Structure 1
C-alpha cells in the first residue's frame, strides 16, 4: 500500500508540474513575451492545453466567470494539494498501524 501511495504522489507531482508549466506558458503567450508563430512553441502550447483541458472543464462549469481571469488551474492545484495531504496522512496512519 505504501508503494501505491508513493506512485500516486509522483503522479500528483507530475500533474502539478504540467499545470504550472501550462499556466506560465499561457501567461507568456497572453502578454506576448513569446508568440505562437514558432511551430515548437505552438505545439507545446496546444499539447499542454489539450492535456489540461479535461481537468479544467468540470471546474469551469462550476466556477464563476471572471472574464480573462481563469481560476480553474488554481482550483486544480488546490485540489491536487488536498489529495496529496490526504495521501500523506493515510500513508502515515498505515505505516504506524494506527486505526483510521
Structure 2
C-alpha cells in the first residue's frame, strides 16, 4: 500500500504545481490585457490560447458587468479553492492508505 500512498502524494504535488503555474499564466494574461499587446507575439498568443478555454466558459456563466471582465478573478478563486481543498485531500488520503 505504500506505493499507492506515494503515488497519491506525488499526484497531489503535481496538481499543486500545475495549478500554481496556471494561476500565474492567468495573472499574466490579465496584466497583458491592460495594455494593447501585439496579437502576433508568440507569448501573447500562448497566454490567450492557454487561458481562453477556461475564461470563455466562466464568461458564459457570469452576467455582463459594465465592460469589466471578472473571469480571471473567478478562475483564480477557483484555483485557490482547488489548491486548498483538493491537494490536502490527496495528502490526507495518502496518509490513510498507508
RMSD: 2.1
- Comparing 89-98 with 51-60, which one deviates more in the overlay? 89-98
Unaligned runs of 5+ residues in structure 1 are 30-34
1:17 aligns with 2:20: no
- The runs of 4+ residues in structure 1 deviating greater than 2 Å are 91-98
Whose relative contact order is higher, 1 or 2, with alpha carbons under 8 Å and at least 6 apart?
2
Unaligned runs of 5+ residues in structure 2 are 1-7
Aligned to 1:89: 88
TM-score by length of 1: 0.76
TM-score by length of 2: 0.78
Aligned to 1:68: 67
Figure out how many residues of one structure are paired with residues of the other and give that number. 90
